[in-house]
Amino acid sequence: MLESSPGRLAIDSAGLMVAIGVITGLRLGLPVAWAVHVTHVFLFVCLLGLSIVRADNPLTMTLPLIYPALAFLLLDDIRRGLAGTLLMTAALNILLATGFGPTLHDGTMLLDGALTVTVVMLFQAAVMALYLYHRKQAILMLRRISLSLNELASHDPLTGLYNRRTFIEVLERELSRRDDDERQLAFLLFDVDRFKAYNDHFGHPQGDELLKQLAGTASEVFSRGEDVVFRLGGEEFGVVYHTETPEQAAHMADRLLASVEAMGAPAPAGPHDNVTVSAGLYLVQRRHATTANHVYSRADQALYRAKEAGRARWLHATP
């Protein structure tokens, strides 16, 4: 017949109450970190208490040997797990030395038992520590890879600007909340005048350098916190920004064209000595239904009208 001591029943009851309390707490919004620490402390006390109340059973005395694994897995903290391992080892050795546990006939057997407990626990602690260390390294590597993939998915690899995919997301987001902002939303679409001639004359590597220089110049002109500059493809760029007045939006467009020409990149074909850009500016009307594709299409039409009018200029897009 199985016997149950009062101490064993107390530990079992406490375990049941802690389990119910943790589950209920989690359902009521208890932070997971708190639940982990409560469970960890209970396991520490429970395993040590069990080895005391059933000290006559060698199997019960060995149960605390599983503590390092539980501590490491629950806390995911090598230092705390090692500290718990040392505490549990010291407690078990003290129990053995004071007469608890299986009958030990002499000091040699006592020393052998203490060494056995210590070595087993430290070995298990070392194994779990190595496991957690390598798991953390793998998680960090996966996070770095995830960040790199997100960067590649949202940015243009040549210039570092946001790409066309991100442009649609940003413009749609700004359009959805434009009526909540007293400022006006503006979109400026621009590209390099006679870029093909530049590539043919100086070569594609130099053309890539020009695009990177142009990206830097545009980012300097539109450097406010909410200004977002994009490379939309080839030599075509765009800027989504907010403006207090239509005159301020026009001033920003003028600054961009002047800054690009001031870069001093030689133009292989006239009429200007330096590389220039042409642009189309679209000012989004408040409380007027529109889409990102509509905004882009209108700005694109204004851009090509600027090209036909002689380049090195910008024109307003029609609503």
Residues labelled catalytic: 235
- How far is residue 171's CA from residue 166's CA, in Å, rounded to a whole number? 8
Angle at 189 between CA 188 and CA 194, to 5 degrees: 135
Per-residue pLDDT, 106: 52
Name the strands in the sheet holding 236-243, side by side, starting at the edge strand that comes first in the sequence.
228-233, 236-243, 184-192, 277-283, 314-316
Per-residue pLDDT tens digits for 30-51: 787 777 677 767 776 776 676 6
Residue whose tokens read 């208890």: 30
Question: Could you state, in order of their start, the residue ranges of all structural domains in the chain?
Answer: 6-151, 164-316
- How far is residue 67's CA from residue 155's CA, in Å, rounded to a whole number? 48
- How far is residue 298's CA from residue 265's CA, in Å, rounded to a whole number? 29
Per-residue pLDDT tens digits for 87-144: 766 776 676 667 665 555 555 555 555 556 666 666 666 666 666 677 778 888 888 8
Per-residue pLDDT, 76: 58
CB 238 within 8 A of CB 187: yes
Q: Considering only CA atoms, which of 107, 235, 227, 240 is closest in space to residue 172?
A: 240
Task: Give the residues of the chain that fall short of pLDDT 70.
Answer: 1-8, 11-12, 15, 36, 40, 44, 47-48, 50-86, 88-89, 92-93, 95-97, 99-132, 151-152
SS3 state at 282: strand
Q: Got the DSSP string for 120-159?
A: HHHHHHHHHHHHHHHHHHHHHHHHHHHHHHHHHHHB-TTT
Asked: is 164-316 a CATH 3.30.70.270 domain? The reply is yes
